């Protein structure tokens, strides 16, 4: 056995201070809050999708007009946002899932280090949205998108891409992070 260290020994204090200053890798002061946000976002996304798919039977109904600018329509997205990088085969789907898992791990590490409630909320929304869409990809091989925003007049027609609640959570999270970075209390201010 080595020498016994007393509580007032300076080496013990140095070790304790250095240990306390290191940021945790996977759990921080706001992780529980963001985890709750992520669970709510993913669960809400999945409940709505399950209802639209199996109770409302959106696939059989075709386009359902909600307002003059908002419709429900079922689209199976085999790619990422905006239908980019479409993957029809299982290998491509697994690659997209692996990329999504890696992104969630990196966001989780960022979350463990944050002390901002807005950043934690934003990261929770992004993680929850990513998980909601990943569940679709595992269950169906594609993501169920169903909201179509459009503007149509006599001389103009604009249709946004079809999206879902997980996408809304991700976009809201990104907007929160941008706000925090550009305008928030800790934002870098120009001299």
19: three-class secondary structure by DSSP: helix
Model confidence at 9, pLDDT cuts 50, 70, 90, reads low
pLDDT, tens digit, for every residue of 48-89? Answer: 999 999 999 999 999 999 999 999 999 998 876 555 555 566
Give residue 121's pLDDT band: very low, low, confident or very high (50, 70, 90): very high
Examine the pLDDT at 14 and tell me if it is beyond 60: no
Q: How far apart are the first and last CA of the chain?
A: 56
User: CA–CA separation, 31 vs 117, rounded Å?
Assistant: 10
Query: Per residue in 153-166, pLDDT tens?
Result: 888 888 888 999 99
Q: Which of 17-26, 143-152, 157-166 has the lowest mean pLDDT?
A: 17-26
Instruction: Please state the rounded mean pLDDT for residues 14-33.
Output: 67
Long-range Cβ pairs for the range 81-89 (8 Å, 24+): 81/167, 82/161, 83/161
Average pLDDT over residues 183-190: 64
Phi, psi of 10 (to 5 degrees): -65, -30
Clarify whether 145 is annotated catalytic.
yes
121 versus 78: the higher-pLDDT residue is 121
Q: For a pLDDT cut of 90, what percent of the chain falls above it?
A: 50
């Amino acid at each position: 056995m080595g020498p016994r260290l007393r509580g007032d020994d300076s080496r013990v204090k140095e070790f304790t201070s250095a240990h306390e200053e290191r940021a945790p890798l996977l759990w921080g002061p706001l992780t529980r809050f963001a985890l709750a946000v992520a669970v709510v976002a993913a669960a809400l996304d999945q409940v709505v999708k399950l209802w639209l798919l199996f109770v409302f039977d959106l696939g059989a109904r075709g386009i359902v007009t909600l307002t003059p600018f908002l419709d429900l329509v079922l689209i199976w997205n085999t790619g990422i946002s905006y239908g980019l990088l479409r993957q029809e085969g299982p290998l491509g789907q697994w690659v997209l899932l692996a990329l999504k898992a890696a992104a969630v791990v990196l966001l989780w590490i960022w979350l463990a280090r944050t002390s901002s409630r807005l950043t934690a909320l934003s990261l929770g929304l992004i993680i929850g949205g990513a998980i909601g869409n990943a569940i679709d990809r595992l269950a169906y091989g594609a993501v169920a998108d169903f909201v179509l925003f459009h503007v149509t007049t006599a001389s103009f027609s604009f249709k946004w891409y079809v999206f879902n609640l997980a996408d809304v959570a991700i976009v809201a999270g990104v907007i929160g992070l941008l706000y925090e970075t550009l305008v928030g209390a800790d934002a870098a201010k120009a001299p």
